[in-house]
Amino acid sequence: MEATTDSMYDYYDYEFENSTMCDYTEWEPSYSLVPILYMLIFVLGLSGNGVVIFTVWRAQGKRRPTDIYIGNLALADLTFVVTLPLWAVYTALGYHWPFGKALCKISSYVVLLNMYASVFSLTCMSLDRYLAIVRSLSSAQLRTRGYMRASLTVTWLLSCLLAAPTLIFRTTKQEDNSNRTACVMDFSMIVSDKEQENVWVAALSFSSSTLGFLLPFLAMMMCYCFIGCTQLIQKEQKQQSEAVITEVSYRVHHMEMSF
């Protein structure tokens, strides 16, 4: 099982051997601190993302592609925020899950779905800025509403697909020596020994780290590097143009004064 309340991204760290669950005695200070933090994030996230979504929705006809991606990002964050009360109760009860298997699967799935949807939305936003600044003349057809809707559809479908293992393997486990029920990853339906389980954990962790962080991060870095270089070139060209205009104006004025 994971070391914290289903730590947001370490969703495939799992240990369930010989029916022995984790020792929670060292985590007792988090029973009160973490739920307060979760509820604070819930209130701020619900209000903040709600305002963003409402603002984008109200600006119909005036919305730019960037506005749509920002609204989509707020929607992805909102889906995660609404699960925080469940995780707050889970922590407050000493990491006991009282909500049943269905909510264990759904809430865990939503957390991972948020991670992928948020990262992919940021990547789309970066690509849109790249097309608008670096390829402004040749990218008009790629920044239409049709392409934008297609990119958002792909973003959510891909996010749903990549988060699917959590929906499949998340379940509730009852501890043998207590009444505590944990919401954990369980690969027993497809593996028969610990070595095979470790392979699955490693593969899912690698895929989430690569597809949910590394590749989007590299894509965003490349986009903003090109944007930065383009703006520097444009700034230098503007300065050179201003210098030429100033020089020409000076010479014209000097010739007029000579006559």
Domain locations in the chain? 25-230
- What is the C-alpha to C-alpha distance for residues 109 and 86, in angstroms, rounded to an integer? 13
> Which residues of the chain, if any, have pLDDT below 70?
1-27, 61, 137-143, 234-259
pLDDT, position 155:
94
- This prediction has a pTM of 0.78
pLDDT, position 236:
63
- For the stretch 93-127, pLDDT in tens is 988 999 999 999 999 999 999 999 999 999 998 99
pLDDT, position 18:
38
pLDDT, position 259:
53
- What is the C-alpha to C-alpha distance for residues 101 and 170, in angstroms, rounded to an integer? 8
Question: Domain 25-230 is of which CATH architecture?
Answer: Up-down Bundle (1.20)
Q: If you write DSSP's letter for every residue of the chain in order, what string do you get?
A: --SSSS-SS-TT----BTTB----GGGTTHHHHHHHHHHHHHHHHHHHHHHHHHHHHHTTTT--HHHHHHHHHHHHHHHHHTTHHHHHHHHHTTS---SHHHHHHHHHHHHHHHHHHHHHHHHHHHHHHHHHHTSTTT-GGGGSHHHHHHHHHHHHHHHHHHTHHHHHHEEEEE-SSSS-EEEEE--TTT-SSHHHHHHHHHHHHHHHHIIIIIHHHHHHHHHHHHHHHHHHHHHHHHHHHHHHHHHHHHHHHHHHHH-
Identify the residue whose tokens are 């939503």: 110
Closest CA to 59 of 45, 70, 46, 73: 70
Counting beta carbons within 10 angstroms of the beta carbon of residue 93, is it exposed (0 to 12), middle (13 to 18) or buried (19 or more)? middle
Crossing angle between the packed helical segments 215-258 and 100-133, to the nearest 10 degrees = 20
pLDDT, position 223:
92
- What is the C-alpha to C-alpha distance for residues 40 and 48, in angstroms, rounded to an integer? 12
Length of the chain: 259
Residue 215, number of CB atoms within 10 A of its CB: 13
